[in-house]
Copies of this chain bind each other. A is one copy, B any other.
Amino acid sequence: MSAILESFDDISKSAPEPIYQQIKSTIQQRIASGDWTAGQKLPSENELVVALDVSRMTINRALRELTQEGLIKRVHGLGSFVAEAPRHASLIELQDIALEIEQHGKRHSSQVLVLDSVAAPVEIAAQMQLPPGRPVDHLRAIHFQDEIPIQLETRYVNPVVMPEFGQQDFTRVTATAYLLQQFKPDEMEHRVSAVMPDRTLRKLLSMPDGQPCLQLNRRTWSNDQVVTCVTLTYPGDRYELGARYATDEYQLR
């Protein structure tokens, strides 16, 4: 039996996770770990049906969704293959910057500037769909790649949903990593814009005069409540956001 098929040993029909999701996760992990390399052929649907003892429709759903996510490629009549090198930046995925930097073989560190609780300013309250003045947790931190500042994170968190957020040590675990551990977002919104940094921002990001910043604003929902809204500011000359994906499922108008 192929070594590839042994990766699927821990698929369990009685687990709380749906089977197709277990299959997806297994494959995602194998690809992320570099265990399976680009271009490598995956087992065929029928082989997986036999090996995992599940219906082909279940296998098919797992593989189809991985295709939509761009992780694998399928060629009719040929088979399924691990897709090319993954995209490098997080425009769609919600990726922890520490992981992202380390995957590039660089060193990540961060410095917490502010971590407190404030009465929500009007615009923040609006963004978080809360009444103004309601207390929210507030974090401001800089992230470094090999000692070079690369991102300023300004984050607000709904303490009703995340009561322990204010007590964390965000020099050890990034806020993104902590929050992803705590809940599974079921909706997100991204907004991207270009802005000129003011003097403070320029200093924090060690930017020369006249350089713009790329700004990503993200809101994350769980159970129809805004859990967190964050503004990530990048030096325009040191960063780029990107994504690549199969278009089959997207609305083209």
Contact = CB atoms under 8 A, between A and B. Distances in A.
Interface in A173-225: 180, 184-196, 210-215
A149 to B, nearest CB: 16
A150 to B, nearest CB: 14
A250 B94 CA distance: 8
A157 B241 CA distance: 23
Q: Of residues A57, A189, A194, which shows the largest number of chain B Cβ atoms within 10 Å of its Cβ? A: A194
A252 interface: yes
A213 to B, nearest CB: 6
B241 A212 contact: no
A243 interface: yes
A99 B194 CA distance: 23
Nearest to A86: B251
A196 B213 contact: no
A51 B164 CA distance: 50
A91 interface: yes
A186 to B, nearest CB: 6
A250 B240 CA distance: 20
Contacts of A248: 186
A93 B251 contact: yes
B240 A191 contact: yes
A202 to B, nearest CB: 13
B187 A244 contact: yes
Contacts of A188: 244-245, 247
Contacts of A191: 240-242
B253 A187 contact: no
A69 interface: yes
A246 B187 CA distance: 4
Contacts of A189: 87, 242-244
Q: Which 5 A-B pairs have the closest CB atoms?
A: A212-B212, A194-B236, A194-B194, A189-B244, A191-B242
7 contacts: A91-B190, A189-B243, A191-B240, A193-B241, A194-B214, A195-B212, A196-B211
